Amino acid sequence: MAQTPVKVTVTGAAGQIGYALLFRIASGQLLGADVPVKLSLLEIPQAVKAAAGTAMELDDCAFPLLSGIEVTDDANKAFDGTSVALLVGARPRTAGMERGDLLQANGGIFGPQGKAINDNAADDIRVLVVGNPANTNALIAQQHAPDVPAERFTAMTRLDHNRALSQLAAKLQVPVSEVRKMTIWGNHSATQYPDLFHAEVGGKIAAEQVDDAWLRDTFIPTVAKRGAAIIEARGASSAASAANAAIDHVYDWVNGTEWTSAAIPSDGSYGVPEGLISSFPVASRDGKWEIIQGLEIDAFSRERIDASVRELEEERAAVRELGLI
Ligand SMILES: NC(=O)C1=CN([C@@H]2O[C@H](COP(=O)(O)OP(=O)(O)OC[C@H]3O[C@@H](n4cnc5c(N)ncnc54)[C@H](O)[C@@H]3O)[C@@H](O)[C@H]2O)C=CC1
Ligand SMILES: O=C([O-])CC(=O)C(=O)O
């Protein structure tokens, strides 16, 4: 192994997403098949033993790229020298809850973890928040890390993006790989807006290849409420698909992509107030996300983007009220 191992920290390592994520990171799918990794597993004290059990299983896989594993309940230790932080550890919702209902329960986790990242992480730290409500938790962590460039804090809407690809490909009976330029706008919540007016299939705008009623009454709600449908069917929230999306997000951030969706701090583009961590169409170049510019937004899309952004503003106001930022 020529390269120095990259330290990757996963919080909530003993949880269901953690279990679906860690083995894929250790096998090289997060950063690349030639990049050695060191894993740090952060858990609450009661779950450290279970995380240590997962670490035993990681050992038992004898992954050539895995150069070491630590298991801890100390955030300062977990984030010491970390280049990639996957903030998964948080309570999932159960049937009947919206993700925003978790703000009070989970918000308190992300301030201290943001501070521990600020004080200990490597200079090239990249943070992906998965724990819900992901956008606003990312904002909380970012606000406690004043020394880390703000754009290093991101939240996951890649699962929504992948769901949208899959639903559209099934409708048009094309392979998923033929869908281009999909975008999720706004919050990782039921107000998110999956946009077919810029997506393309066979070089033609997707919205023109489906009927309006399907787009409005089937596609958008199916994608936006897919998390609840999984909870209803599985009796537990999405895990392997969430882990898969986290891998996709970080891989593309580090290795580059021409078009995907990610929740990143707004620079004011498309009328989204600066600083909100909102999902946009993004490219990644030289290891940095860039919002894809110049898209025309019609009245139908404008109304939906604005509604989701309004919810993000309400969540930000709520966490201010709770003293979390
Ligand atoms: N952004 C997205 O697209 C998605 C987000 N999620 C969210 O991911 C989160 C995790 O989901 P699961 O793994 O299914 O939950 P889980 O309940 O199976 O695991 C969560 C783990 O986090 C740990 N944890 C709690 N507080 C912690 C802290 N302060 N530090 C470190 N670890 C801590 C728990 O001990 C537990 O082991 C939930 O908030 C869920 O809603 C889930 C699917 C998709
Ligand atoms: O819906 C949930 O609570 C879990 C999640 O974020 C998703 O599956 O998108």
Question: Which pLDDT score, from 0 to 100, does residue 144 have?
Answer: 98
Domain that holds residue 259: 158-315
Among residues 133, 155, 177, the one where a domain terminates is: 155
Nearest atom (ligand 1) to Cα of 236: 14
For the chain, what is the mean pLDDT? Answer: 97
- Distances from the Cα of 302 to the Cαs of 57, 92, 155, 270, 305, in angstroms? 48, 30, 22, 9, 5
2 band by pLDDT with thresholds 50, 70 and 90: low
Identify the residue whose C-alpha is closest to ligand 1 atom 23: 12
Same domain (yes/no): 141, 185: no
Residue 168 and residue 224 in contact, taking contact as beta carbons nearer than 8 Å: no
**Amino acid code (one letter) for 319:** V
Distance (Å) from CA 7 to ligand 1 centroid = 20
- As a whole number of angstroms, the distance between CA 206 and CA 199 comes to 5
Nearest in space to 73 (alpha carbons), one of 117, 50, 41, 96: 41
Distance (Å) from CA 237 to ligand 1 centroid = 10
**Ligand sitting nearest the alpha carbon of 227:** 2
Same domain (yes/no): 137, 166: no
Give the pair of three-digit tokens for residue 87: 């903030």
pLDDT by residue (tens digit) across 187-197?
Answer: 999 999 999 99
Q: Is residue 57 part of a domain?
A: yes
DSSP assigned state of 161: H
Same domain (yes/no): 214, 292: yes
Residue 101 pLDDT greater than 90, yes or no = no
pLDDT by residue (tens digit) across 121-163?
Answer: 999 999 999 999 999 999 999 999 999 999 999 999 999 999 9
Among residues 155, 188, 213, the one where a domain terminates is: 155
Same domain (yes/no): 163, 228: yes
SS3 264: strand
H helices present in the chain, as ranges? 16-26, 48-61, 75-78, 103-120, 134-143, 158-172, 212-213, 220-224, 226-234, 240-255, 299-321
The question of whether 161 is a catalytic residue gets the answer no
Same domain (yes/no): 256, 272: yes
Ligand 1 binding residues, C-beta < 6 A: 11-12, 14-18, 42-44, 47, 88-93, 109, 130-132, 134, 156, 159, 188, 237-239, 242
Q: Is residue 288 part of a domain?
A: yes
- As a whole number of angstroms, the distance between CA 277 and CA 57 comes to 35
Nearest in space to 318 (alpha carbons), one of 140, 95, 113: 140
ipTM rounded to 2 decimals:
0.99
Ligand 2 binding residues, C-beta < 6 A: 92-93, 99, 132, 159, 227-228, 230, 237-238
